């Protein structure tokens, strides 16, 4: 249940934020939020993270469907710990948010601009955070498993 709640909440936040950006800004427009730290910059990303795979819409759609499918399969076929359910929910919700953009528009709406990092969105943040937290979780679980015997 944590998987579905996490994925749905993330998908909602992602899509609402992108709708607000598309409604209130023009592509390329940038608005400082915290001067010198973060801006809202409307970018239409036709590639994957950091602009990789530009123009590879079909490939990126297939990858997103596989990621979402794998996350759903894992959560339906196993009794995963609550933390893992949440982490896979973040990945699935993020992948689905970007999949919806790519399918509907041919590009993903990015808008969080730190100035020193490629512009990204809430879905991207969730996926990256989930991957990092999964690595930390796996490392900690592996270490505690080694202590047992």
Active site amino acids: 110, 124
Q: What are the DSSP calls for 78-127, one per residue?
A: S---HHHHHHHHHHHHHHHHHHHHHHHHSSEEEEEE-SSS--B-HHHHHH
Pairing of strands 108-113, 38-45: antiparallel
In sequence order, the 6+-apart residues with CB closer than 8 A to the CB of 124 are 49, 94, 98, 110
Residue 111: other Cβ atoms inside 10 A: 22
């Amino acid at each position: 249940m944590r998987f579905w709640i996490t994925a749905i909440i993330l998908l909602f936040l992602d899509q609402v934020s992108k709708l607000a950006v598309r409604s209130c800004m023009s592509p390329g427009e940038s608005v400082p939020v915290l001067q010198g730290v973060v801006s809202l910059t409307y970018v239409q990303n036709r590639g994957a993270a950091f602009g990789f795979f530009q123009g590879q819409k079909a490939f990126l759609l297939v990858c997103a469907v596989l990621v979402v499918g794998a996350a759903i399969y894992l959560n339906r076929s196993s009794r995963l710990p609550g933390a893992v359910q949440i982490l896979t929910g973040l990945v699935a919700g993020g992948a689905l948010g970007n999949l919806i953009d790519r399918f509907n528009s041919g590009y993903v709406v990015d808008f969080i601009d730190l100035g020193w990092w490629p512009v990204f969105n809430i879905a991207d943040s969730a996926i990256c955070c989930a991957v990092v937290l999964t690595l930390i979780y796996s490392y900690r679980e592996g270490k505690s498993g080694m202590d047992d015997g």
